[in-house]
Structure formats: C-alpha cells, structure tokens
C-alpha cells in the first residue's frame, strides 16, 4: 500500500487554479520531494494532503484513508511542519515540545523518554531551557521538527523546512531526515532548492499547479536534451549576453559565476564559444562538458512545457 496517493487532485481559488489535476503516489518509507518555484502549488498540495484544506475536485489518500472524509483519523498518524511553524517564542524549547505533546494527547507515561530522545536526536539537549525566540533560524527549524515528531507519526509533511536557513543547519536538518528514513518514516518535503531535491528518492517537478515530471533524480536527468558545457569566463554577465546573441540555437544560462550552455552539438560548440569570447575581448578560463543538474533539467522541462 502506498503511503500517499492522489488522483486528479485540483484546487481553485476563484479564477486561479493553484493545483491542476495532480496524480502521484509516494511509497511507504520513501523520501519524496515536490520541487517548484514560489507560487507553483507546493504548499496548497501539502495542505490538501494533510487534511487542512479541501480540494475543489479529485481525491487524495494518506495511509489508505481519504484525506477529506477521514481527516480526523489521519491527523494522529501524520506530522505537519508548515513554512511558519507555530512555535511560541516566550516558551522554552522543552515547554514548546510539551505543548505539542499535550495537543497530540501524548500520555505522561513514556513522554519524558520520548522528549529526551527528540532533544538528543535534533541536538537541542543543551538548549532545552532556552526560549524559542532566542534560537537561531536553524535551531528553530529543528525544534519545529521535534514538535512535529513528538507523537511518532508514520508520515511527515515538511513545507520548505530549510527556507532561509544557513548551509550548515540545512545539512544538519537533512542528516536528521535520513535518520528518520531509517526508522521507516515516510517523508513528503517541498523545496525550492534543486540541490536538496537530489537527496530525495523521487522528485516531482511542479509549475503553475501542474506536475511536469516525476521520477528519481537520475532518471529525471535523462530528460535533458543535448549536452551541457560549463563555461568559466572573466565577465560571466557580459559573456551571457554575447553567447545568447551568437548561439541562437543553443540555450545559455547563468549559474553563480559560471555559464551553462545546452547544445545539440557538443563537439562544435567549444570552438564557437572560444571564437565569440575572443572577438568580444572576454577572457575564457575554462570550458568543459558536465552532467546536468536537476536545476538544468527543471529549466529545460519548464521551457519545453511553455513552448
């Protein structure tokens, strides 16, 4: 049995269709990532799966139960962490966890052991008496996760849990998620970070409410047409403009301080790039063929869909 299943799930707000005919499955014990830019429909999808919002049409099941008709029975089996998780800044770390334990009706017997485990699990034990309002962004996210796990859910919904968190805290957060996977927890996470999506078992690419593709990261990378050349130059932004003008049949994008050139002729492209850069007086530092990233794939699939 799948942990999560949707069939033509749709949500409209007046004239806006936030989620359009979403059909997907998530296996038990899987880490599934729903990836898209802001406004793609990620949060709306998660709220419908968690039983917080009713769909306009279509169906969703979580742990074999209907997400609308059986929402109350599902809530005791899932953990949900929204983008702005409801921590109480005037309460300590320990008091926040006890508060959520009370909400979920966690019995007193065994509660302290469970809370101690969560504090250790999230590396928050030294900060158990610190007020939540005085925690760093990364520590607040880990506290939010501990609160969402206090009742030992089978399915965990995380809505952009590392948004705005520093790189070290992001790494620590994902380490905790991998530990949960080993315990058999199914994790459904939304993110706008394509590098994080690479860590998931399977990934769904969503744009304007529509699922563009869904597969393992490696299989998704096979959707990339042509080859990718990574270019390092003295002036990346000027290079971008001239390469786009000179290579009209190729796609050129700026990725940090480097350029990615998608071409159907990887043998001829380096010579053309060298010629353009020399003509414009821009120093070419390096050009090499690389494996596509999920960001490359997302941009490619998105461009193809809009065409």
Helix axes 167-182, 137-149, angle to 10 degrees: 20
Residue with tokens 């300590």: 92
The pLDDT tens digits of the residues spanning 67-87 come to 999 999 998 899 999 987 788
The pLDDT tens digits of the residues spanning 230-287 come to 999 999 999 999 999 999 888 888 888 999 998 888 899 999 999 999 999 999 999 9
Quote the CA–CA distance of 195 and 118 in Å, as a whole number: 27
Q: Is the pLDDT of residue 57 over 60?
A: yes
Q: Is the pLDDT of residue 306 over 80?
A: no
DSSP assignment letter at 201: S
pLDDT at 131: 96
Let me know if the fold of 4-220 is the same as that of 227-291.
no
Q: Is the dihedral of CA 198, 203, 207, 208 positive or negative?
A: negative
167's enclosing H/E stretch is helix 167-182
DSSP assignment letter at 202: E
Task: Kindly report the average pLDDT of the chain as a whole number.
Answer: 92
Mean pLDDT in residue range 206-226? 92
The pLDDT tens digits of the residues spanning 18-51 come to 999 999 999 999 999 999 988 999 999 999 999 9
Beta-carbon contacts of 118 under 8 Å, excluding residues fewer than 6 positions away, are 97, 124, 146, 149, 150
Q: Which residues pair with 189 in a beta bridge?
A: 33, 158
pLDDT at 307: 42
Topology of domain 4-220 in CATH is: Rossmann fold (3.40.50)
Residue with tokens 């059986």: 70
For 227-291, CATH number out of 3.40.50.720, 3.30.70.1510, 3.40.30.10, 3.40.50.280 equals 3.30.70.1510
Domain assignments of the chain as residue spans, ordered by start: 4-220, 227-291
């Amino acid at each position: 049995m799948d942990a999560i299943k949707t069939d033509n799930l749709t949500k409209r707000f007046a004239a806006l269709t936030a989620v359009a005919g979403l059909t997907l499955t998530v296996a038990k014990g899987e880490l599934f990532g729903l990836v898209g830019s802001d406004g793609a429909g990620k949060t709306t999808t998660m709220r419908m799966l968690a039983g917080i919002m009713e769909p306009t049409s279509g169906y969703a099941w979580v742990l074999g139960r209907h997400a609308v008709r059986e929402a109350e029975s599902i809530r005791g089996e899932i953990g949900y962490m929204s983008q702005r998780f409801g921590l109480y800044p005037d309460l300590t770390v320990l008091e926040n966890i006890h508060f959520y334990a009370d909400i979920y009706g966690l019995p007193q017997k065994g509660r302290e052991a469970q809370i101690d485990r969560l504090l250790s699990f999230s590396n928050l034990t030294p900060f158990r008496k610190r007020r939540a309002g005085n925690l760093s962004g990364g520590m607040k996210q880990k506290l939010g996760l501990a609160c969402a796990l206090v009742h030992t859910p089978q399915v965990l919904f995380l809505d952009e849990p590392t948004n705005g968190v520093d790189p070290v805290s992001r790494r620590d957060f994902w380490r905790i998620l991998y530990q949960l996977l080993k315990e058999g927890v199914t994790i459904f996470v939304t993110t706008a970070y394509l590098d994080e999506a690479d860590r998931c078992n399977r990934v769904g690419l969503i744009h304007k409410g529509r699922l563009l593709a869904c597969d393992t990261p490696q299989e998704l990378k096979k959707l990339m047409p042509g080859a990718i050349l990574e270019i390092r130059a003295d002036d990346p932004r000027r290079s971008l403009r001239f390469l786009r003008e000179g290579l009209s049949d190729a796609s050129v994008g700026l990725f940090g301080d480097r350029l990615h050139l998608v071409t159907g002729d990887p043998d001829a492209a380096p010579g053309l790039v060298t010629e353009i850069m020399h003509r414009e007086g821009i120093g070419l530092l390096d050009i090499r063929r690389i494996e596509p990233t999920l960001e490359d794939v997302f941009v490619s699939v998105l461009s193809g869909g809009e065409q």
